[in-house]
Amino acid sequence: MYLFIYVFVFLSADTWYNVEAITGRKAILPCELNSLEGSADLVYVVLWYRNDEKEPIYSFDKRPGRVSSSESRHIIHESLRNRAKFLIGEVPALEIDPISGNDEANYTCRVDFRIATSRTTRVALQVVVPPNDPVLRVNGDVINDPLLGPLHEGQALTLTCSVTGGDPSPRVVWTRNGKRCWYLIANGQLDRKYCFHSGLMPLRIRVTQDIRGPQEAADDHRFCS
C-alpha cells in the first residue's frame, strides 16, 4: 500500500513536453527550475540525460564555491559539443543548434536543489526532415513556369505533383483559389469535390472556361504551382 502511494507521487511530479524541430535549425528543450514545494530554493545542479543513458549529456553546476569560472560550470557531451547551451532566463531550456536527425530522442532534465526534492522534466523531441522540392509535370513533362497557356478549350491535361523524401512523409493536397479540396473531373464535367493526399498527385482535367485561375498542390511546407 505504501509502495503504491510512493510511486504515484513520484510520477505525478514529472513534467512532460513534446517538442518538434526541423533539421538544420535550433531546438529548445524546456526545463522546470522551480521546486515543487513552492519555496524559493537555490538550484544547485542541472543534469540532462538522453533516453535511458546513465551518464548526462549536459550538466550545469551552480553550487557556490565548487567551480572557479562560468565556463567550467557547463560540461557538455562530445555529441553536443559546439551545438548546445543551457539558457537560464524566464524560460530555462537546453538549446541545440543546429539540430540533426540523430538528436531525436527522449530527454530528461533533473534539477537538484539545495534543500527541496529534485524535480524532473521530460521532453520528447521529434526531428522533422523537410521533403525535397516538389516537381510539377504537365502531361509527363516537367515545367518550371507556374503559368500554363495558351490552352485550347476541350484540351485534356494531366497535372502531376511529386514530392520525395521527408520524415514524417509529406502530404500533398491540390487546391483551387486557396481551397484545399479540388474537383474530381468525370466526363469533362465538374462532378464532386475530392481531396487528394499522397506523395504523387495526378490531376486530370479538361480545359474549360470555368477552370481558369491558380491550381496548386501543396505539401506541408511549400506550394507546387
pLDDT, tens digit only, all 225 positions of the chain: 333 333 333 334 578 999 999 999 999 999 999 887 766 788 999 999 999 899 999 999 988 766 555 657 889 999 999 999 999 888 899 999 999 999 999 999 999 999 888 999 999 999 999 888 888 888 888 888 777 777 778 788 787 777 888 888 777 767 766 666 544 333 333 333 444 444 455 666 655 555 555 555 444 333 333
Please check whether residues 147 and 181 belong to one and the same domain.
yes
For 168-183, give one letter per residue: b (16+ CB within 10 A) or e. eebbbbbbeeeeeebb
Residue 4 lies in a domain: no
Q: Which of 100, 128, 156 delimits the end of a domain?
A: 128
Q: Which of 107, 128, 149 delimits the end of a domain?
A: 128
Residue 211 lies in a domain: yes
Residue 120 lies in a domain: yes
* Residue 195, domain extent: 135-218
Answer yes or no: are the C-beta atoms of 217 and 175 closer than 8 Å. Answer: yes
Count the domains in the chain.
2
pTM: 0.67
Q: Tell me how far apart the alpha carbons of residues 41 and 205 are, in angstroms, rounded to a whole number.
A: 68
**CATH of residue 118:** 2.60.40.10
Please check whether residues 70 and 144 belong to one and the same domain.
no
